[in-house]
């Protein structure tokens, strides 16, 4: 049997009008968005469907919007998957998809995560930048050379063999961008984010999220979840919980995740949720694999 992997997008995949067509077409999607409005206590659906780009860019809105859209799409999608993974906040969508978490608990965790990350970003001035066309070892060497006791920059997202995102203090990231360009990077681009995600600067956010995560029941996964921190398939609810706590300050091993899913028998990747960013990354990692999506 051809194995299919469901993959769920993270921050950066949001767009104006996201989820609107799902809401109009499917009663199941309408129920998810209406439930999210009630759980969150504000009209998320209106912001998704009619909000401005600036509103959707706010971390505390972006993450719950992407999560809700992804779950709404997943309950309407007929594609059957034998494994799953999610990029950064997308991992929470994957956990609901695999029945590790229910929707309400997942949404509350994402809201806590987003608020904690936004607060941490306010306290510690951080940023992120995409580096394209530079080898992993060289970029890690550059980050190490720039970092000191006062400022740090680390590799945060290993998105594909050619795209790595760095994260850290603003000045350290800017220095690393310059050096990366001098060393042959094809493109360096600072990202529009409110903090240094997936870096040690998210320590305070991790502690706040951990307090909430510890109170939530994590069931064993019904299909293997390939986790960001390990890039390995996990089914134990307790193991997934511990990895999810580590996720905020650890790099997203997306490139290795996709490669391990292929090694595990995946013949098709199916992106569920807003946009097609992950489909593009998979294509860069393996040009021969079948790709699809539903949003």
- Domain segments of the chain as ranges: 3-121+201-294, 125-194
Spatial distance between the Cα atoms of 79 and 91, rounded to a whole number of angstroms: 19
Q: Which of 45, 74, 81, 88 is catalytic?
A: 88
Please state whether beta strands 163-169 and 187-190 pair in parallel, antiparallel, or not at all (unpaired). Answer: unpaired
Which pLDDT belongs to residue 25? Answer: 97
Which pLDDT belongs to residue 229? Answer: 98
- Residue whose C-alpha is closest to residue 204's, from 127, 105, 121: 121
Spatial distance between the Cα atoms of 85 and 90, rounded to a whole number of angstroms: 8
Residue range 147-169: average pLDDT? 95
∠ CA 10-245-135, nearest 5°, is 55
Residue 167 has pLDDT above 80, yes or no: yes
Which pLDDT belongs to residue 112? Answer: 97
The answer to whether residues 81 and 101 touch, using CB atoms and an 8 Å cutoff, is: no
Mean of all residue pLDDT scores within the chain: 96
Which pLDDT belongs to residue 193? Answer: 87
Residue range 196-222: average pLDDT? 96
Which pLDDT belongs to residue 53? Answer: 87
- At the top level of CATH, which class does the domain 125-194 belong to? alpha beta
198 has catalytic annotation:
yes
* Residue 89, H or E segment: none
pLDDT top residue among 258 and 54: 258
Which pLDDT belongs to residue 123? Answer: 87
Rg over alpha carbons for the chain, rounded to the nearest Å, is 18
Q: Which of 13, 198, 199, 250 is catalytic?
A: 198
Residue range 102-130: average pLDDT? 94
The answer to whether residues 237 and 219 touch, using CB atoms and an 8 Å cutoff, is: yes
pTM: 0.96
88 has catalytic annotation:
yes
Superfamily of domain 3-121+201-294: Malonyl-Coenzyme A Acyl Carrier Protein, domain 2 (3.40.366.10)
**pLDDT tens-digit map of 106-119:** 999 999 999 999 99
What is the DSSP annotation of 4-69?
EEEEE--TT---TTTTHHHHHH-HHHHHHHHHHHHHHTS-HHHHHHH--HHHHHSHHHHHHHHHHH
Which pLDDT belongs to residue 122? Answer: 86
The answer to whether residues 70 and 272 touch, using CB atoms and an 8 Å cutoff, is: yes
- Residue whose C-alpha is closest to residue 248's, from 117, 115, 105, 111: 117
Residue 192 has pLDDT above 90, yes or no: no
């Amino acid at each position: 049997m051809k194995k299919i992997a469901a993959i769920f997008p993270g921050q950066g995949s949001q767009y104006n009008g996201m989820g609107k067509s799902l809401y109009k077409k499917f009663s199941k999607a309408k129920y998810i968005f209406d439930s999210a409005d009630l759980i969150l206590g504000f009209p998320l659906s209106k912001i998704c469907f009619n909000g401005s780009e600036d509103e959707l860019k706010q971390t505390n809105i972006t993450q719950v919007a992407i999560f809700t859209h992804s779950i709404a799409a997943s309950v309407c999608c007929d594609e059957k998957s034998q494994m799953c993974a999610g990029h950064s906040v997308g991992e929470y969508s994957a956990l609901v998809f695999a029945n590790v978490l229910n929707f309400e608990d997942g949404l509350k965790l994402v809201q806590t995560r987003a608020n904690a990350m936004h607060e941490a970003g306010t306290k510690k001035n951080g940023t992120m930048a995409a580096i394209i066309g530079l080898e992993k070892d060289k970029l890690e060497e550059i980050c190490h050379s720039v970092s000191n006791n006062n400022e740090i920059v680390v590799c945060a997202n290993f998105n594909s063999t050619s795209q790595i995102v760095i994260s850290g203090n603003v000045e350290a990231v800017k220095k690393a961008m310059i050096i990366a360009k001098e060393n042959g990077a094809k493109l360096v681009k600072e990202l529009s984010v409110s903090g240094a995600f997936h870096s040690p600067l998210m320590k305070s956010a991790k502690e706040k999220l951990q307090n909430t995560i510890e109170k939530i029941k994590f069931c064993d996964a019904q299909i293997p979840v390939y986790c960001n921190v390990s890039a390995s398939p996990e089914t134990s609810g307790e193991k997934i919980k511990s990895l999810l706590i580590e996720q905020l300050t650890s790099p997203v091993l997306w490139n290795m995740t996709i490669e391990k899913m292929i090694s595990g028998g995946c013949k098709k990747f199916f992106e569920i949720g807003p946009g097609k960013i992950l489909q593009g990354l998979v294509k860069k990692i393996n040009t021969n694999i079948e790709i699809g999506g539903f949003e």
